[in-house]
Structure formats: structure tokens, C-alpha cells
Amino acid sequence: MTSEEKLKYGEMSKIIKAMSHPTRLFIVDKLKERKYCVCELTDMIDADISTVSRHLTVLKKAGIIYDEKIKNNVYYDLRCPCISNFYSCVITIINIQKND
């Protein structure tokens, strides 16, 4: 593996690792619909705001989401909506495994 390939796959693994929690997968999936504020996500996840904020921070540091302050709330959205293609692929793999 070349140094460029190591760098590329290292960056890819950081993104995948950031998504490797059920709550973060849920958050990314919800953000495909629209922007959400942390308070809305907290209600949907049924967790305290500090827990949800930690998950959002992980996703933001990985470059998957971004935040935007609107009035008194911070809203989160996907930086790159094509992440839903990854979800479709994962679901396809799950379905294949069920049929094996």
C-alpha cells in the first residue's frame, strides 16, 4: 500500500468509525429528511442532551454533519447527503445475509 493509499483509507476509516454507533446511524438517517435541532434529536433518541451532543460532536468532527445557528437553536444537517447511498448498500448486505 502506498503512502497516499494509507492516507486515503485512514481518512475513510475515520468516517466509518464515527458512524459505528446505533445512535449516530439513527441521527444521520434522520438528517436525510431535514435539518434538526439538538432538542428535537434528543426527544427522538430519548436520551439526555449531553449524550446527544457528544454523538453530534463525533459526527461533526468526522465531517459528516455541520451545524448552523438559527435564532436560539443550533440545527444540524448532512454535509454530504450521498451518505444515504452507504445506508442502501448496508441494507442490501443485511438482506443478502438473511437469505444465505
CB count, 10 Å around CB of 50?
Answer: 8
Please write the tens of the pLDDT for every residue from 14-70. Answer: 999 999 999 999 999 999 999 999 999 999 999 999 999 999 999 999 999 999 999
Which of 51, 85, 78, 82 has the alpha carbon at shortest distance from 63? 78
What CATH number should be reported for the domain whose range is 3-99? Answer: 1.10.10.10
**Sequence spans of domains, the chain:** 3-99
Q: Which distant-in-sequence residues (6+ apart) come within 8 Å of 68 by Cβ?
A: 35, 74, 75, 76, 77
In the predicted structure, residue 88 carries a pLDDT above the cut 90: no
